[in-house]
Amino acid sequence: MPEIVVIAAVADVPGRPGDRLIGDGMELPWHIPADLKRFKALTSGWPLVMGRRTFESLLHQFGGPLPNRENVVLTRHPSAVDHPGIHVYGSLEDAVDAFADRERVFIGGGAGVYGSVLEGDSPVQADRLELTFVEGDFQGDTHFPEYRHLIEDDGPFVLEASESHPAKDGRPAFRFETFVRKA
């Protein structure tokens, strides 16, 4: 079984309506080039599993699938999703099974897909979380699942690395944090 790695950028404004935001229609709620660079560095060369709406948002933002990695798209209507160079599956389990020989598979959202691997009833569960916490109250419509209980002292994940970046040039402050499942 590959290592299952969740990768997400998540608004961190506890108690505010914008807390846990990840998306705004076809867009991200923010533009943080350093986060896009890190996303590219981490996911290049590995299968990246995503829901159909996230894939459509990539087409909208970048004009096509992400290069140098397998774009693996989940839909319950596989015949309706047709794009050259992508892999389409009807379930998360089938998608991960198809890459069972790989060392690592990234889970790139959206909300329901993250929920399934964080503590859903899917047999596919996250081993590692690569999260970017973005500090600011943004507009949007899609939220990351409740996760704080998972990274508390008695939760299943422990912080392995953290790197903070202050607000700069009109960009919000953010921090990269890696959590790993406790042995």
User: Given the rule CB under 6 A, which residues bind ligand NAP?
Assistant: 8-9, 22-25, 27-28, 50-54, 57, 74-77, 90-92, 108-113, 116, 142
What is the rounded CA–CA span in Å between residue 151 and residue 54? 25
- 3 state DSSP class of 59: helix
Considering the complex, what minimum distance in angstroms separates the CB of residue 118 from ligand NAP? 13
Q: How far is CA 90 from CA 36, 64, 74, 131, 176, in A?
A: 28, 21, 6, 26, 31
Q: Which is nearer to ligand NAP, 45 or 123 (CB)?
A: 123
Q: Which is nearer to ligand NAP, 76 or 182 (CB)?
A: 76
Considering the complex, what minimum distance in angstroms separates the CB of residue 14 from ligand NAP? 17
Q: How far is CA 151 from CA 103, 120, 183, in A?
A: 24, 16, 14
Considering the complex, what minimum distance in angstroms separates the CB of residue 25 from ligand NAP? 6
Q: Which is nearer to ligand NAP, 82 or 153 (CB)?
A: 82
